[in-house]
Amino acid sequence: MTLAATALPPSQKTRAVLIAAASIAILVAVWILQGLGYEPCELCLTQRYAFYAAIPLALLTAFLAGRSVYGLARAGFAVLALLFVASAALAAYHTGVEYHWWQGPTACTGGPGSLDVNDLVKALDSVKVVRCDEVQLRIAGLSLAGWNVVASAVLAVYAALAARL
């Protein structure tokens, strides 16, 4: 079996299962990192929604492909591709926030607010905000948001190819 046949098997069902497995693996990886003490920011948590949504959608697509409903399976792959394009775009936005190319949400980047000093002291005592514009971990030079751009883009291309085949 060639690498191409392994990566893009002829079965639509297997392709969909691979997308679900990749989404599960990515979520498990970020949960492990979170368990090791790397707290996610607001944007990090939002970026996970695509993977949470992709798992049941990919499994539904696999089910449809297994039932020889190829037209709906192709539509499922197209929706998955769009989902991952949106995920890559959000991750690219987060990466830009980390590099200070633009400001992120004020809830996690310390932008101006309308709190008085007493409210600020109360907030500091009760809430620990993880900043979206500070990188907690880099792996091979990329932040986790940067890696999400790569992973989401690869999954988007894969799902788009699977929809066309």
Q: What pLDDT score was predicted for residue 70? A: 85
Distance, in Å, from the CA atom of 66 to the CA atom of 145, rounded to the nearest integer, reads 34
Closest CA to 94 of 128, 151, 54, 134: 134
Q: What is the pLDDT of residues 85-132, one digit of tens each?
A: 999 999 999 999 999 999 888 777 665 555 567 766 666 666 677 888
Q: What pLDDT score was predicted for residue 125? A: 65
All structural domains of the chain, each given as residue ranges with its CATH number in brackets, are 3-164 (1.20.1550)
**Residue positions counted in the chain:** 165
Q: What pLDDT score was predicted for residue 164? A: 86
Distance, in Å, from the CA atom of 141 to the CA atom of 130, rounded to the nearest integer, reads 21
Task: Please provide residue 139's backbone torsions phi and psi, each rounded to the nearest 5 degrees.
Answer: -125, 120
CA distances from 20 to 24, 110, 139, 144 (A): 6, 36, 24, 20
What residue ranges of the chain have pLDDT lower than 70?
1-9, 109-116, 119-127
